[in-house]
């Protein structure tokens, strides 16, 4: 490795990623891409394969924005791509297995086409074990960068194009905020908007605080300006993103401004729908509930991960709330917003979880009646405290618990959707249904998928649809007319 290469060999360090100092967050402005780099991609194509959560989906839009400023154009075909980037997720082992499968598969293409740049980014890049494995077993990878240095992509890509060695640059630090990054959004109707980065919760099973750094909030004026600009461009919906949006603003030293305040300001912005994800139950305060109850463009859907219904398990998960506190929060929310749709995440088979403890999760599900749930079998992540706990629940038992939980949730989801029969809902019409081009497809304020027959000109706007055939995961209905969405604020 030559001296210059060393500058591009910074591997990850999980221990460093775990540290939280009291250092102030720097807000950096993304510099214009230097003139000499703007032509690098001229006449060439790129492809990004994205795994993981909405945060990653949106990061891919940033990466696409940068690549397009470098002259690259998007493609759907691997064969015609000059750059293929895999934006990875580290949340569970099966997510990682898929990525390694993909990297292995792409070896053939890379051998046939040595000029192809094959890169990996995202949360897996932040893990030492992953980067070591790539260095040892997947030498056909050209470039690895992490979640903190996406803005460095032009330089790293240039280096990867010139160098024969693998370019690795991963920063294991708490993280800064980079404003003004270019974005190439994939959808013209609905947009993702970061309001904060990172996570300080350190739930004992979770890798995210290691891969995404500390909680840091974007300044409200930057977030609001971005949303106003999206509204001006014709976007109908924004989803505000953070691993724990309820911690928004906790890190500000110059002002007292929290998530409730941000939502109150969003309420005045002229964009028809504002969603957010994800909420941590612990930081969900009364002011926020009060603001959400104003409705308008603030939709009646809250994703509120419970993870478990048992206090002992919640305690070892480090969730910092009890079943009782969770239920109390749910009842406050339901009181303020009676038709709210709540959805959740649940982990089954936590180390040491007994049958009785699992049954507490089932009873919590029955009590809350979430409209839907993402359910997972616990997956040990290297470097997290839970990975060191004794995991004595057999895999078969974990699978059986997941199955029982899913059956119960299906029954609840079906019942919840059945209650919508004959009701008229407001649908943001996104396009033709995937299965039948004569059918239109869109989402309710509560994010439920609705299919119905109607004229194509409805696409991109709002329609009123009467639900005629509720199903477990989707709703079928008939068009009753165009909905006029009340314009709010300026």
Q: 121 a known binding residue?
A: no
Residue nearest to ligand SAH (CB): 345
Q: 206 a known binding residue?
A: yes
Is residue 206 a contact point for ligand SF4 (CB under 6 A)? yes
Name the one range near ligand SAH by CB under 6 A: 123-131, 264-272, 364-372, 376-384. Answer: 376-384
Could you say which of ligand SF4, ligand F3S, ligand SAH, none residue 209 binds, taking C-beta under 5 to 8 angstroms by partner kind? Answer: ligand SF4
Name the one range near ligand SAH by CB under 6 A: 115-123, 373-381, 388-396, 407-415. Answer: 373-381
Closer residue to ligand SF4, CB minimum distance, 45 or 148: 148
Among 14, 33, 53, 439, binds ligand F3S (CB under 6 A): 53
Is residue 52 a contact point for ligand SF4 (CB under 6 A)? no
Binding mask 85-114 for ligand F3S (x = CB under 6 A): ----xxx-----------------------
Closer residue to ligand SF4, CB minimum distance, 213 or 442: 213
Closer residue to ligand SAH, CB minimum distance, 220 or 305: 305
Closer residue to ligand SF4, CB minimum distance, 52 or 470: 52
Q: 203 a known binding residue?
A: yes
Could you say which of ligand SF4, ligand F3S, ligand SAH, none residue 89 binds, taking C-beta under 5 to 8 angstroms by partner kind? Answer: ligand F3S
Is residue 160 a contact point for ligand F3S (CB under 6 A)? no
Q: Which of 217, 210, 208, 212 is nearest to 246 (CA)?
A: 217
Could you say which of ligand SF4, ligand F3S, ligand SAH, none residue 347 binds, taking C-beta under 5 to 8 angstroms by partner kind? Answer: ligand SAH
Could you say which of ligand SAH, ligand SF4, ligand F3S, none residue 202 binds, taking C-beta under 5 to 8 angstroms by partner kind? Answer: ligand SF4
Contacts of 287 (CB under 8 A, 6+ apart): 258, 260, 261
Could you say which of ligand SF4, ligand F3S, ligand SAH, none residue 92 binds, taking C-beta under 5 to 8 angstroms by partner kind? Answer: ligand SAH
Q: How distant, in Å, are the alpha carbons of 218, 246, 259 from that of 251?
A: 10, 12, 12
Closer residue to ligand SAH, CB minimum distance, 150 or 208: 208
Binding mask 202-221 for ligand F3S (x = CB under 6 A): -----xx--xx---------
In the complex, minimum distance from the CB of residue 12 to ligand SF4, in angstroms, rounded to a whole number: 18
Name the one range near ligand SF4 by CB under 6 A: 54-62, 124-132, 200-208, 348-356. Answer: 200-208
Alpha-carbon gap, residue 268 to 77, rounded angstroms: 42
With contacts defined by CB under 6 A, how many residues of the chain interact with ligand SF4?
10
**Contact residues for ligand F3S, defined by CB under 6 A:** 52-53, 55-56, 89-91, 122-123, 207-208, 211-212
**Contact residues for ligand SAH, defined by CB under 6 A:** 91-92, 205-206, 208, 243-244, 278, 280, 305, 307, 345, 347, 376, 378-379, 381
């Amino acid at each position: 490795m030559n001296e210059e290469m060393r500058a591009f060999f910074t591997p990850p360090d999980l221990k460093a990623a775990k540290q939280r100092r009291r250092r102030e967050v720097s807000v950096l402005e993304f510099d214009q891409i230097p003139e000499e780099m703007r032509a690098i991609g001229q006449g060439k194509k790129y492809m990004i394969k994205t795994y993981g959560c909405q945060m990653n989906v949106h990061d891919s839009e940033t990466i696409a924005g940068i690549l397009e400023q470098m002259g690259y154009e998007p493609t759907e075909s691997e064969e015609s791509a000059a750059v293929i980037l895999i934006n990875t997720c580290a949340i569970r082992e099966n997510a990682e297995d898929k990525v390694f499968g993909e990297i292995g598969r792409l070896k053939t293409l890379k051998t046939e086409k040595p000029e192809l740049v094959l890169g990996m980014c995202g949360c897996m890049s932040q893990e030492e074990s992953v980067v070591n494995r790539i260095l040892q077993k997947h030498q056909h990878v050209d470039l690895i960068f992490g979640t903190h240095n996406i803005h460095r992509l032009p330089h790293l890509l240039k280096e990867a194009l010139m160098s024969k060695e693998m370019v690795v640059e991963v920063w294991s630090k708490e993280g800064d905020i980079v404003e003004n990054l270019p974005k190439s959004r994939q959808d013209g109707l609905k947009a993702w908007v970061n309001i904060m980065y990172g996570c300080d919760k350190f739930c004992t099973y979770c890798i995210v605080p290691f891969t995404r750094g500390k909680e840091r909030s974007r300044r409200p004026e930057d977030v609001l300006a971005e949303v106003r600009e999206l509204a001006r461009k014709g976007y109908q919906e924004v989803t505000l993103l953070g691993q724990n949006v309820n911690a928004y603003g906790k890190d500000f030293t110059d002002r007292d401004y929290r998530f409730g305040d941000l939502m109150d300001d969003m309420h005045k912005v002229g964009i028809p729908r504002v969603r957010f994800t994800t909420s941590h139950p612990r930081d969900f305060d009364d002011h926020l509930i009060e603001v959400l109850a104003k409705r308008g463009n603030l939709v009646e859907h809250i994703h509120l991960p419970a993870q478990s219904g048992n206090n002992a398990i919640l305690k070892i998960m480090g969730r910092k709330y009890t079943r009782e506190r969770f239920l109390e929060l749910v009842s406050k929310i339901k009181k303020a917003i009676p038709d709210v749709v709540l959805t959740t995440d649940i982990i089954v088979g936590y180390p040491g979880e007994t049958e009785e403890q699992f049954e507490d999760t089932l009873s919590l599900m029955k009590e809350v009646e979430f409209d839907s749930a993402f359910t997972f079998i616990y997956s040990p992540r290297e470097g997290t405290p839970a990975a060191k706990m004794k995991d004595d629940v057999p895999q078969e038992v974990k699978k059986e618990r997941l199955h029982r939980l899913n059956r119960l949730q299906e029954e609840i989801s079906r019942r919840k959707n059945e209650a919508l029969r004959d009701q008229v809902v407001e649908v943001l019409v996104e396009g033709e249904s995937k299965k039948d081009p004569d059918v239109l497809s869109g989402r309710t304020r509560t994010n439920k998928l609705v299919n119905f027959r109607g004229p194509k000109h409805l696409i991109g706007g709002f329609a009123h649809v009467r639900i005629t055939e509720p199903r477990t995961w989707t709703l079928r209905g008939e068009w009753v007319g165009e909905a006029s969405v009340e314009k709010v604020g300026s």
